[in-house]
């Protein structure tokens, strides 16, 4: 479904503490050692350790090791095009069971923890990729979004966290249409991680924004608009673009611990909620609007727990204090 356009790809876990979330979502810090022969795989070379069965993509060269493909070239084809739509999207060898994406219960179970790139091996525990090869492939396309299958543990975790963070008792929780993993480049993540190590107190918060194109509906290509959610995917949050000069607490980047607060900013099919990891550091807690109009000296963020947190506002004042993790779209 996706094109070759940089920043667009089709496909793609919220659990426990913030520390475990950080490990789960920061896919760019994967440390698993490659399997023997990975160097040959990365060069696209056939090897004697291949299973002797044909690559499920090119159907010419033998598969490599535990992969269903022969080389990184064919892995990229699976990542972009999704493989044969009539075949199981995990083993890629048998026809799908009617109404399912997989061929049977075994592959259905394995697909829930599949690597989001090759889709034929289990992801490396808390990370989204199975190893260095798939991480390297993903880095070639950053920034881009990966659509997460609904049965995948990552989707289930993100959806549960959104529901659990819904604090409104008067507005019904909206039906989620799609959840995408936002993938950023190493340099962007490194700047964030350096700031996090210095300041600390990372939390996962919500930011509501506009979707001015067909991202996530008819395409995964990022549009050029500076006011569309695509720009957050492309550049992360930047004070020059997203700091609200008219905000109640001055020019900063506004998020909320209450998913309902973020959703109501741009609700419905034309809006989007961006799940973000945010370094709050030392928090200045305030009790009313306009109590402060900038980040006070000695603090790193401002938090207003309006209506006992039901309309929480959490504000940071620098680019490297926040990075997008998930994009949630609604029906």
Least confident of 125-129, 153-157, 234-238: 125-129
Q: Which of 59, 267, 116 is nearest to 177 (CA)?
A: 267
**Per-residue confidence (pLDDT) for residue 126, from 0 to 100:** 78
Q: Which residue has tokens 């504000």?
A: 315
DSSP for 157-186 reads: HHHHHHHHT---SSSPPPPEEEEEEEE--H
Does residue 109 carry a pLDDT above 60?
A: yes
Per-residue pLDDT averaged across 96-125, rounded? 92
Average pLDDT of span 100-117: 93
Q: Provide the edge-to-edge strand list for the sheet that holds 144-147.
A: 144-147, 176-183, 322-330, 271-279, 202-210
- Band (pLDDT 50/70/90 cuts) for residue 45 is very low
* pTM higher than 0.85: no
| Pairing of the two strands 301-304 and 313-316 | antiparallel
Q: What are phi and psi of 96, to 5 degrees?
A: -70, 145
What mean pLDDT do residues 209-222 have? Answer: 90
Residue 245, burial from CB neighbour count under 10 angstroms (0-12, 13-18, 19+): exposed
pLDDT for 132 beyond 60: yes
**Higher per-residue confidence, 90 vs 49:** 90
Q: Give one DSSP letter per residue of 38-85, joined into a string.
A: HHHHHTT---TTS-SSBPTTTSSSBP-TT-SSSSHHHHHHHHHH-S-T
pLDDT digits (tens, 9 = 90+) for 53-71: 888 888 889 988 878 888 8
Task: Report d(CA 258, CA 303) in Å as an integer.
Answer: 12
- Structure token digits, residue 79: 């990542």
Write the CB contacts of 6 (distance below 8 Å, at least 6 apart in sequence): 141, 144
pLDDT-derived band at 236 (thresholds 50, 70, 90) equals very high
Distance, CA of 65 to CA of 36 (rounded, Å): 9
CA–CA separation, 331 vs 329, rounded Å? Answer: 7
Find out whether 54 and 61 touch, Cβ atoms under 8 Å.
yes
At 185 the pLDDT is 92
What is the pLDDT at residue 88?
A: 92
Domains of the chain, each with CATH number or no CATH = 33-123 (no CATH), 157-330 (3.90.228.10)
Rounded Cα distance, 117 and 128, in Å:
8
Number of other residues whose CB lies within 10 A of the CB of residue 326 = 27
Please give the pLDDT value at position 14.
34
156-215: pLDDT as tens digits: 999 999 999 999 999 999 999 999 999 999 999 999 999 999 999 999 999 999 999 999
**Does 52 have pLDDT greater than 60?**
no
Query: What element of type H or E holds 315?
Result: strand 313-316
Check residue 291 and report its DSSP letter: S
- Residue 213's Cβ-count burial label (10 Å; 0-12, 13-18, 19+) is middle
Q: What percent of the chain has pLDDT over 70?
A: 84
* Angle formed by the axes of helices 72-81 and 132-141, nearest 10°: 60
**Tell me: the pLDDT tens digits for 259-317?**
999 998 887 778 999 999 999 999 999 999 999 999 999 999 999 999 999 999 999 99
């Amino acid at each position: 479904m996706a094109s070759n356009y940089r920043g667009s790809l089709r496909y793609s876990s919220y659990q426990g503490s913030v520390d475990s979330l950080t490990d789960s979502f920061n896919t760019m810090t994967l440390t698993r050692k490659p399997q023997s022969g990975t160097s040959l795989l990365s060069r696209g070379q056939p090897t004697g350790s291949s299973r002797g069965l044909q690559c499920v993509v090119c159907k010419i060269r033998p598969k490599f090791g535990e992969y269903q493909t022969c080389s990184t070239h064919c892995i990229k084809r699976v990542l972009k095009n999704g493989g044969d739509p009539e075949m199981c999207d995990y083993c890629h060898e048998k026809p799908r069971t009617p109404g399912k994406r997989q061929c049977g219960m075994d592959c259905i179970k394995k697909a829930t923890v599949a690597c989001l790139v090759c889709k034929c091996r289990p992801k490396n525990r808390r990370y989204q990729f199975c190893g260095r090869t798939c991480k390297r492939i993903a880095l070639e396309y950053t920034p881009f979004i990966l659509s997460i299958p609904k049965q995948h543990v990552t989707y289930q975790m993100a959806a549960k966290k959104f529901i659990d963070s819904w604090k409104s008792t008067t507005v019904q929780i909206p039906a989620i249409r799609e959840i995408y993993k936002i993938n950023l480049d190493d340099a962007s993540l490194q700047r964030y991680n350096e700031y996090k190590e210095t300041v600390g107190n990372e939390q996962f918060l919500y930011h509501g924004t506009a979707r001015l194109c067909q991202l996530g509906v008819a395409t995964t290509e990022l549009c050029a608009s500076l006011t569309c959610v695509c720009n957050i995917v492309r550049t992360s949050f930047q004070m020059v673009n997203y700091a609200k000069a008219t905000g109640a607490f001055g020019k900063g980047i506004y998020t909320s611990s209450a998913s309902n607060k973020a959703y109501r900013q741009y609700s419905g099919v034309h809006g989007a909620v961006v799940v973000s990891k945010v370094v709050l550091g030392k928090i200045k807690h305030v009790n009313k609007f306009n109590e402060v109009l900038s980040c006070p000296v000695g603090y790193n963020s401002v938090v207003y727990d309006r209506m006992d947190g039901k309309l929480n506002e959490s504000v940071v004042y620098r680019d490297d204090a926040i990075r997008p993790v998930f994009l949630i779209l609604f029906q």
